[in-house]
Amino acid sequence: MTVNNMKEILKAENLCFDYPDISLLRDVSFTVREGDFLGIIGANGAGKSTLIKLILGLLKKDSGEIRLFTDKIGYVPQKANSFNTDFPATVREVVMANLYKSVGLFKRYKKSDEEKMKNALKRVGLEGYENRMIGKLSGGQQQRVFIARALIAEPELLLMDEPTVGVDAQSVHAIMKLAAELNRQGLAIVMTNHDTPTLVKAANKLLIFCEHGNSEYVARADLTMEQISEIFAGGRAHNHG
């Protein structure tokens, strides 16, 4: 067995969670370390977004453990790319609002904050877009603005919930390429995505919600796409620490 010495960033152990009327997560266990890209796969309603909310502390677990070893977390919520065309905010405002905590109530941004904003936009391939209205951008561009918004706070872990839903094929490719690049630069990533083959290609670890309440945690390298589809379709036991 190889020992992984990379720093632990996030760890779930036998995590359980139900909504009052819906039994959902049963004994979910996984580890995210520095440099990891965890892909979360599962059908509609399997509990993927719920797990993201448990990671963020927006929901409280029923039992088991979910532990974060960093407070530097970036979050790109599901449907971050569905603004009205007349939504009254510029790209600059959307991205810089995530510096709010450190800037304080009166939003006196420093010159260096403006630089950070521009740098974050550059990292997502939207250099020069700061004065555009968010609602007038394409779904894929809006999604990248939200990634920039997360990046401006210099996270160690980036949580992305369905970042490619509702964007065209070219944008899917651009967003996944960007995620892979950020991951290569050292950012740990947790991503849910309906596009299973695309996610499987990018991730080095997978958490697969199969039958109701059951999940499997595997290293991507251990499995072929065929075997992953088999698990996804429901059933075979396979475990990886």
User: Where along the sequence are the contacts to ligand ATP (CB under 6 A)?
Assistant: 19, 22, 24, 42, 44-50, 78, 162
Instruction: Candidates 29, 49, 198, 204: give the one binding Mg ion (CB under 5 A).
Output: 49
- Which of the listed partners (Mg ion, ligand ATP, none) does 200 bind, with a CB threshold of 5 to 8 Å by partner kind? none
For residue 56 the two structure tokens come to 């963020």
Give the whole-angstrom CA distance, residue 31 versus residue 70: 13
Report in angstroms how near the CB of residue 207 gets to ligand ATP at its nearest.
11
119: which residues sit within 8 A by CB, 6+ positions away?
A: none
Smaller CB separation from ligand ATP, 78 or 198: 78
Give the whole-angstrom CA distance, residue 224 versus residue 214: 20
Q: Is 196 exposed, middle or buried (0-12, 13-18, 19+ CB in 10 A)?
A: middle
Size of the site for Mg ion (CB under 5 A): 3
Cα dihedral 71, 74, 75, 80 in deg (nearest 10): 160
Contact by Cβ (8 Å): 70, 32: no
Answer yes or no whether residue 194 interacts with Mg ion by CB under 5 A: no
Report in angstroms how near the CB of residue 229 gets to ligand ATP at its nearest.
17
Report in angstroms how near the CB of residue 24 gets to ligand ATP at its nearest.
6
Report in angstroms how near the CB of residue 61 gets to ligand ATP at its nearest.
14
Binders of Mg ion in range 57-116 (CB under 5 A)? 78
Q: Is 230 exposed, middle or buried (0-12, 13-18, 19+ CB in 10 A)?
A: middle
Smaller CB separation from Mg ion, 26 or 48: 48
- Which of the listed partners (ligand ATP, Mg ion, none) does 42 bind, with a CB threshold of 5 to 8 Å by partner kind? ligand ATP
